[in-house]
């Protein structure tokens, strides 16, 4: 029995030793695998390529009518009839109000009668003056008699001219009883009704006509922005747009784009001292009268063309805790490098970079969170999921920042 017990113990310890050797052998094999270098992390990159970009700026503005005519009476009288529909389109020369013409017709008839009387007296007075002239040569009348006859002739002629002017004035006043539209456009509400008494050149308008096709859009631009654009044009960073340089697109209050383009007419020559801005006036076709006076719009104005612009995806730009933009690139050795950036503006889903990147460099777009400057990485081309989608309607400028 004792020998059997010893044999059993020997077998047990032998098994434990074999298990320990197997375990130690497995651990040694694992340590050998961990000793190799880890694989380089994979990052998606885009290669920086300069391109020509049309730069625009988005400016706020208000619409105003192309022409405005305030209708006021030019004679005193009673409104007999209003002859237009409020809010309708009227044509130049269309009759709007009829003022009672009776007293003005009487004044015209009276002036005509007085003119006829003066014209009837003129021939006899002229002949008398001519006879006195002949008799004066024969010394049959005195010089005083001739002078009196000549003066009477001049007075009669002047009286005829006076009454001609009175007839014309009476005719004009009679015409003013017909209040007509000076321009074509849309007329607003009437401030008077039939039977109302009006006076010549009164402060209160009878109605207002506004021409809405085309229509003006007045936008404001800061003088500092204008100086920046001129500086960039002088240094060659921007080139003047030759084609459609004066064309302007509009965005309505609800964000939709107006279907027709406007034309930049002029820039104001004076800067507002209170706001430091000046006004740009744009003429916009408005055949459907979609734009009404006083509406708020945003004008997309073309600044120029950047011939060698560098655009990068916005997701490839990060910021420091201080808000300074930077990017990570992969250099020729496959190492990560950090580059501080100066951003100009956002164009769609991309940043326009003023400085910090060079053509041909590889910008990391995906995988930035798992790398650090100086680390070796494996760069693969980035596939843009937004490729083919339209960019935003305007390039919104930013203050140059680092």
Residue pLDDT, tens place only, 351-370: 888 888 989 999 999 888 88
Question: Is residue 38 domain-resident?
Answer: no
Handedness of CA 271, 275, 276, 278 (dihedral sign): negative
- Are 268 and 168 found together in one domain? no
pLDDT at residue 399, as a whole number: 46
Average pLDDT rounded to a whole number, residues 113-128:
88
Question: Is residue 2 domain-resident?
Answer: no
Q: What is the pLDDT of residues 127-139, one digit of tens each?
A: 888 887 777 777 7
Question: Is residue 227 domain-resident?
Answer: yes
| Full 3-state SS string of the chain | CHHHHHHHHHHHHHHHHHHHHHHHHHHHHHHHHHCCCCCCCEEEEEECCCEEEEEEEEEEEEEEEEEEEEECCCCCEEEEEECCCCCCEECCCCEEEEECCHHHHHHHHHHHHHHHHHHHHHHHHHHHHHHHHHHHHCCCCCHHHHHHHHHHHHHHHHHHHHHHHHHHHHHHHHHHCEEECCCCEEECCCCCCCCCEECCCCCCCCEEEEEEEEEEEEEEEEHHHHHHHHHHHHHCCCECCCCCCCEEEEECCCCCECCCCEEEEEECCCCCCCCCEEEEEEEECCCCCCCCCCCEEEEEEEEEEEEEEEEEEHHHCEECCCCCEEEEEECCCCEEEEEECEEEEEECCEEEEEECCCCCCEEEEECHHHCCCCCECEEEECCCCCCCCCCCCCEEEEEEEC
pLDDT at residue 58, as a whole number: 84
**Sequence-distant (≥ 6) Cβ neighbours of residue 58 within 8 angstroms:** 251, 298, 299, 300, 301, 393, 394, 395, 396
Question: Is residue 26 domain-resident?
Answer: no
- Are 379 and 236 found together in one domain? yes
Question: Looking at the predicted structure, is the pLDDT value of residue 401 above 50?
Answer: no
Q: Which domain holds residue 364?
A: 47-64+212-401
- Are 271 and 336 found together in one domain? yes
> Hey, what are 80's tokens?
């007999």
- Are 360 and 264 found together in one domain? yes
Lowest mean pLDDT among 135-149, 189-203, 245-259: 135-149
Q: What is the pLDDT of residues 121-166, one digit of tens each?
A: 888 888 888 887 777 777 777 888 878 888 888 888 999 999 999 9
The CATH number linked to 122 is 1.10.287.470
Give the rounded percent of residues in the chain with a pLDDT score beyond 90.
38
Q: Indicate the pLDDT class of residue 79, thresholds 50, 70 and 90.
A: very high
- Are 89 and 111 found together in one domain? no
- Are 130 and 217 found together in one domain? no
The CATH number linked to 323 is 2.40.30.170
- Are 282 and 164 found together in one domain? no
- Are 194 and 81 found together in one domain? yes
- Are 113 and 241 found together in one domain? no
Domain count, the chain: 3
Lowest mean pLDDT among 27-31, 41-45, 196-200: 27-31
Average pLDDT rounded to a whole number, residues 390-394:
47
pLDDT at residue 76, as a whole number: 95
pLDDT, the chain, mean: 82
Average pLDDT rounded to a whole number, residues 95-122:
93
Dist CA 343 CA 312 (whole Å): 10
pLDDT at residue 7, as a whole number: 53
Question: Is residue 5 domain-resident?
Answer: no
- Are 292 and 383 found together in one domain? yes
Domain end (from 126, 158, 176): 176
The CATH number linked to 185 is 2.40.50.100
Q: What is the pLDDT of residues 41-72, one digit of tens each?
A: 888 899 999 888 877 788 889 999 999 999 99
Question: Is residue 334 domain-resident?
Answer: yes
pLDDT at residue 195, as a whole number: 93
Cis, peptide link before residue 214, omega less than 30° from 0: yes
> Hey, what are 185's tokens?
């456009």
pLDDT at residue 392, as a whole number: 47
Lowest mean pLDDT among 68-72, 244-248, 337-341, 386-390: 386-390
Question: Is residue 168 domain-resident?
Answer: yes
pTM: 0.66
Q: What is the pLDDT of residues 286-310, one digit of tens each?
A: 999 999 999 999 988 877 777 788 8
Dist CA 267 CA 297 (whole Å): 18
pLDDT at residue 34, as a whole number: 53
- Are 276 and 148 found together in one domain? no
Question: Is residue 151 domain-resident?
Answer: yes
- Are 60 and 77 found together in one domain? no
């Amino acid at each position: 029995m004792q020998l059997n017990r010893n044999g059993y113990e020997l077998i047990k310890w032998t098994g434990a030793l074999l298990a320990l050797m197997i375990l130690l052998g497995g651990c040694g094999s694992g340590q050998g695998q961990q000793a190799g270098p880890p694989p380089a992390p994979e990052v998606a990159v885009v290669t920086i390529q300069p391109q020509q970009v049309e730069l625009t700026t988005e400016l706020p503005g208000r619409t105003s009518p192309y022409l405005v005519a305030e209708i006021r009476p030019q004679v005193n009288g009673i409104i007999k009839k209003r002859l237009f529909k409020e809010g309708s389109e009227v044509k130049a020369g269309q009759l709007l109000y009829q003022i009672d013409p009776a007293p003005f017709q009487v004044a015209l008839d009276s002036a005509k009668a007085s003119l006829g009387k003066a014209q009837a007296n003129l021939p006899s007075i002229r002949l008398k003056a001519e006879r006195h002239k002949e008799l004066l040569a024969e010394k049959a009348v005195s010089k005083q008699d001739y002078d009196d006859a000549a003066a009477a002739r001049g007075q009669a002629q002047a009286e005829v001219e006076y009454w001609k002017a009175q007839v014309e004035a009476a005719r004009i006043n009679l015409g003013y009883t017909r209040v007509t539209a000076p321009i074509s456009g849309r007329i607003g509400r009437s401030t008077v009704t039939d039977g109302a008494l009006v006076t010549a050149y009164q402060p209160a308008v009878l109605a207002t006509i506004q021409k809405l096709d085309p229509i003006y859009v007045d936008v404001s631009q800061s003088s500092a922005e204008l100086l920046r654009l001129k500086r960039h044009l002088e240094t060659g960073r921007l080139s003047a747009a030759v084609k459609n340089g004066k064309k302007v697109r509009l965005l309505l209050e609800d964000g939709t784009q107006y279907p027709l383009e406007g034309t930049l007419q002029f820039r104001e020559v004076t800067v507002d001292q209170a706001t430091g801005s000046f006004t740009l006036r744009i003429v916009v076709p408005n055949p459907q009268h979609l734009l009404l006076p006083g509406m708020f719009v945003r004008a997309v104005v073309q600044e120029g063309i950047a011939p060698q612009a560098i655009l990068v995806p916005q997701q490839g730009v990060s910021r420091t805790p201080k808000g300074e933009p930077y990017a990570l690139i992969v250099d020729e050795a496959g190492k990560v490098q950090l580059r501080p950036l100066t951003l100009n503006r956002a164009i769609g889903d991309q940043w326009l970079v003023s400085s910090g990147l060079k053509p041909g460099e590889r910008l990391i777009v995906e995988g930035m969170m798992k790398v650090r400057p100086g680390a070796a990485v494996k760069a693969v081309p980035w596939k843009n999921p937004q490729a083919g989608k339209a960019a935003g309607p305007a390039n919104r400028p930013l203050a140059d920042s680092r």
